[in-house]
């Protein structure tokens, strides 16, 4: 199997279990938790860059062309995504967060078609339309658009698109992204410490270990995702992504016991059906191509 596929599977398995990790840190305000993710992720990546003796090459590459601007966009997108997700998980919206990542695969496919001119077969448009209908249905069910889900889906699908076009490798690219966010995050953490509301070294040893560990659990799946995005089509990245929201949904419904109405179930079922149809269409298409190849 393509190494990129394994990277994608590994990344989405990690992300699927994230609600449990962030729930252990529910006592930490979302903005502080986001800042710790950024700071510790950058420090870890920076050490790795130095250890691998890539610092000189890294400094040279980031000054070429529009590299800094591309990764500034990527940094802003992933920062917004992290913030909304951490807040949503600890505010009791794990199920709605999972909806964002159910929508995201199909949005990734759509961006691949519009921006990268990846072609879809006629039957692939059916699940895209069905998913859009599901989101509209849920908007009426909630009484307003599911903004958490839509924000997560839009930011991460666009982030995947930017990473697809980005010139740096996965390690250097992620180092640059977190480096761009590092100073604002560090200044904010210093501010919270000076004002007496900082969580680090004030909420127990376990909490401190988990905050530092946020850099590790953030860095590993993102590196795998970046590697996958550069090795396989964006449409395939989108298909693999349903692993993560399935785990998140099960955690929210079964472990955290979040409310889930019959009306919501109908809306989610429409989106799930769209994903199943998209996957089945892909399987049948690949089988037909194999049959044609054998016949030739």
pTM for the predicted model, two decimal places: 0.82
Q: Give every CB contact of residue 215 below 8 A, 6+ residues apart in sequence.
A: 36, 37, 39, 40, 41, 42, 43, 44
246 is written with which tokens? Answer: 């399935």
pLDDT digits (tens, 9 = 90+) for 161-208: 888 888 888 788 889 999 999 999 999 999 999 998 988 888 889 999
pLDDT, residue 160, reads: 84
- Between CA 233 and CA 42 the distance in angstroms is 28
pLDDT, residue 19, reads: 92
pLDDT, residue 44, reads: 92
Q: Tell me the H-state helices in 91-169.
A: 94-114, 125-142, 147-165
Q: With a cut of 50, which residues of the chain have pLDDT below it? A: none
Buried b (16+ CB within 10 A) or exposed e, 262-283: eebeebbebbbebbebbeebbe
pLDDT, residue 46, reads: 92
pLDDT, residue 240, reads: 76
Nearest to 165 by CA among 77, 274, 33, 291: 77
């Amino acid at each position: 199997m393509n190494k990129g596929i394994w990277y994608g599977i590994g990344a989405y398995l990690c992300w699927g279990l994230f609600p449990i990790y962030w729930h252990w840190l529910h006592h930490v305000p979302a903005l502080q938790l986001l800042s710790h993710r950024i700071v510790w992720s950058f420090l870890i990546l920076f050490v790795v860059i130095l250890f691998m003796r890539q610092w000189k090459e890294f400094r040279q590459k980031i000054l070429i062309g529009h590299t800094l601007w591309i990764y500034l966009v990527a940094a802003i997108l992933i920062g917004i995504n992290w913030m909304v997700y951490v807040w949503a998980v600890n505010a009791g919206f794990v199920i709605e967060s999972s909806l964002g990542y159910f929508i995201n695969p199909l949005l990734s496919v759509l961006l691949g078609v519009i921006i990268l001119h990846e072609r879809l077969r006629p039957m692939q448009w059916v699940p895209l339309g069905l998913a859009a209908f599901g989101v509209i249905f849920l908007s009426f069910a909630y009484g307003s658009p599911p903004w958490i889900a839509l924000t997560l889906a839009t930011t991460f699908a666009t982030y995947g698109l930017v990473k697809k076009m980005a010139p740096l490798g996965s390690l250097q690219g992620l180092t640059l992204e977190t480096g761009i966010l590092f100073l604002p995050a560090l200044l904010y953490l210093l501010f919270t410490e000076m004002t007496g509301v900082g969580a680090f070294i004030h909420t127990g040893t376990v909490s401190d270990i988990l905050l530092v560990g946020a850099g590790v659990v953030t860095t590993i799946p993102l590196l795998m995702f970046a590697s996958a995005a550069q090795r396989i089509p964006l449409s395939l990245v989108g298909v693999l992504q349903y692993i993560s929201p399935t785990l998140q949904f099960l955690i929210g419904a079964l472990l955290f016991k979040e409310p889930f109405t019959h009306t919501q179930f109908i809306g989610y079922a429409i989106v799930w059906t769209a994903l199943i149809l998209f996957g089945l269409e892909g399987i049948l298409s690949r089988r037909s191509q194999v049959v044609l190849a054998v016949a030739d």
